[in-house]
Amino acid sequence: MTSLQVDHSGQLANPLDILEAMFQANEWPFERSDDEELIVETTGGWCDYRMLFVWREDMHAFYYTCTFDLKIPGDRRKGVVELLALINEKMWMGHFDLCSESGSPTYRHTIPTRGMGGFSVEQLEDLMDIALAECERFYPAFQFLLWGGYKPEEAVQAALLDCQGEA
């Protein structure tokens, strides 16, 4: 297991360094503007996602988001806000909100890192997997609400419907 350890000054090493190495190894296009921010885009089963990772050493925090490639029309935002509240009740880790800048649903999570010995590759992979899985899990709810005419409660129920057997 590879991990980022505490450096000689007692500070946790930058987890973006290991993410950058992971993305390079997998030949994923990414952008790293500085030591505190890294952006990668990936394709899911429903849409494209933009993942933002932010390392705040001064706050002892690692923050990341996964934004849908889906713009919410202004007249539909009230219903989406209701939908987000219902979705967030079903979440165990992280939460969804509506990005005020882009108008897109966004999964968000922050991890406090004070006292941590380091991040492992597996931990960072798990964080990305969880974010993408939750986005894929709830993407249909937004579709049902926006274009299917469902009410927020119906949209969540329809998105979480587990199919049995084979077709």
Question: Do 66 and 78 form a contact (C-beta atoms < 8 A)?
Answer: no
Percent of the chain with pLDDT over 70: 89
Percent of the chain with pLDDT over 90: 49
SS3 150: coil
Closest CA to 111 of 65, 66, 64, 61: 61
Phi, psi values for residue 128, rounded to 5°: -70, -45
Taking all residues of the chain, what is their mean pLDDT, rounded to a whole number? 86
Q: Long-range pairs for 28-33 at CB < 8 Å and ≥24 separation?
A: none
Query: Average pLDDT of 140-146?
Result: 93
Is the per-residue pLDDT at 5 higher than 50? no
Query: Average pLDDT of 128-132?
Result: 93
Question: What does the chain come to in residues?
Answer: 167
- pTM confidence score: 0.83
Question: Do 32 and 16 form a contact (C-beta atoms < 8 A)?
Answer: yes
Tell me how far apart the alpha carbons of residues 138 and 61 are, in angstroms, rounded to a whole number. Answer: 26
Beta bridge partners of 65: 52, 108
Instruction: Render pLDDT for 79-128 as a digit per residue (tens, 0 to 9).
Output: 999 999 999 999 989 999 998 877 889 999 999 988 877 788 898 999 99
Q: Which residue do the tokens 């009230």 mark?
A: 78
Check whether domain 15-159 has CATH 3.10.129.10, yes or no: no
Vertex 70, ends 62 and 154: CA angle to 5°? 100
Instruction: Render pLDDT for 50-67 as a digit per residue (tens, 0 to 9).
Output: 999 999 988 889 999 999
Spans of all domains in the chain: 15-159
Of the pLDDT bands very low, low, confident and very high (cuts 50, 70, 90), residue 3 is very low
Of the pLDDT bands very low, low, confident and very high (cuts 50, 70, 90), residue 161 is confident
Question: Do 83 and 156 form a contact (C-beta atoms < 8 A)?
Answer: yes
